[in-house]
Amino acid sequence: MTKRADLHTHTRASDGTCTPAENVRIAKEAGLAAVAITDHDIIAGIGEALEAAKEYDIEVIPGVEISSAANGQDIHVLGYFIPHESEAFGQKLYDLRETRYKRHQMLIAKLNELGIPITLESVYRRKQGETDKNIGRPHIAEELMEMGVVQSIAEAFDKYLGKGGAAYVNPPRITPQQAIALIQETGGVAVLAHPGLYDDDELVKDLIAHGLDGLEIWHPDNDEEDRARYSRLAEEHGLVMTGGSDFHGWRGEEPFHAMLGSSTAPMEAVERMREIAEKRKRT
């Protein structure tokens, strides 16, 4: 049986609901050989996950999902084998989180303009006790559900928070090219997350030309046609083909985005990324 890895998961360090150790346990129970912790613009959960890896005898890959923007929409770049103990790298990510905070302020303001009396404070209380209150749109969606404005996370994104939603905002951020450079300059491996979401293959090709290391092929938001098209692109340009569930824990009784282990990549992808990272760190 081919060993597999889920290379896209989130924890309470950003907008997931599970602890890093819980993600590691769930990955082990799913029969995986490895799991990546890829929280949004933060590496705070990696240390706990690495400790849990010793208990569960599974590999944890230090990762991050960097928020960038291009052509008026969010573009996410995954970084693997990043320097999770580097204070300098951590500071750069902190600066990115400050932009996320401004975005949430703008988003809340637009919801208020639509007559929805949501506050930033009410959203942030969902991270009570956390030292770094790195919230995401799912937290805002949960608050909208509790207020009775929507019935589900999906409805919140469709109506208000997602691309094309009534409250969608996208303040100036770093470009995906800059995100790739940030990852690679630290010795990491840069992979474009869920390319099927962007509906912009010209951008994908531009990022490949810019030096992107890989494409996330197996993801819940990539349909069969997406997977086939991006697999061809990856093969044509010699890119690593990765996959992950984008697991964010549970919202109610349902896993969000998808259950950990439901979208995976072969361990060969992990080994190839490891080789790229080791070579990059030596040069």
Structure tokens at 120: 């930033």
User: What pLDDT tens digit does each residue of the chain (283 aa) get?
Assistant: 689 999 999 999 998 999 999 999 999 999 999 999 999 999 999 999 999 999 999 999 999 999 999 998 999 999 999 999 999 999 999 988 888 888 889 999 999 999 999 998 888 876 654 545 567 888 899 899 999 999 998 899 999 999 889 999 888 889 999 999 999 999 999 999 999 999 999 999 999 999 999 999 999 999 999 999 999 999 999 999 999 999 999 977 889 889 999 999 999 999 999 999 999 999 8
pLDDT value of position 23: 98
- Contact 69/103 with Cβ under 8 angstroms? no
pLDDT value of position 139: 86
Instruction: Encode 38-71: b = buried (16+ Cβ within 10 Å), e = exposed.
Output: bbbbbbbbbebbbebbeeeebbbbbbbbbbbbbe
Interacting residues of 38 by C-beta distance below 8 A, sequence separation 6+: 7, 8, 9, 10, 63, 64, 65, 78, 79, 244
Domain coordinates of the chain in residue numbers? 4-100+176-282
Location of structure tokens 């996370």: 153
DSSP assignment string, 40-77 = BT--TTHHHHHHHHHHHT-EEEEEEEEEEEETTEEEEE
Residue type, 117: P
Q: Strand 34-37 relative to strand 189-192: parallel, antiparallel, unpaired?
A: unpaired
pLDDT value of position 223: 96
Beta pairing partners, 61: 36
Q: 4-100+176-282 maps to which CATH number?
A: 3.20.20.140
Measured CA distances, 113 to 15, 79, 108, 141 (Å): 25, 36, 9, 17
Angstrom distance (rounded) from CA 185 to CA 188 = 7
Our separate counts of H helices and E strands in the chain read 10, 10
The three-state secondary structure class of 199 is coil
Q: Strand 59-70 relative to strand 73-80: parallel, antiparallel, unpaired?
A: antiparallel
Q: Kindly report the pTM of this predicted structure.
A: 0.85
pLDDT value of position 98: 86
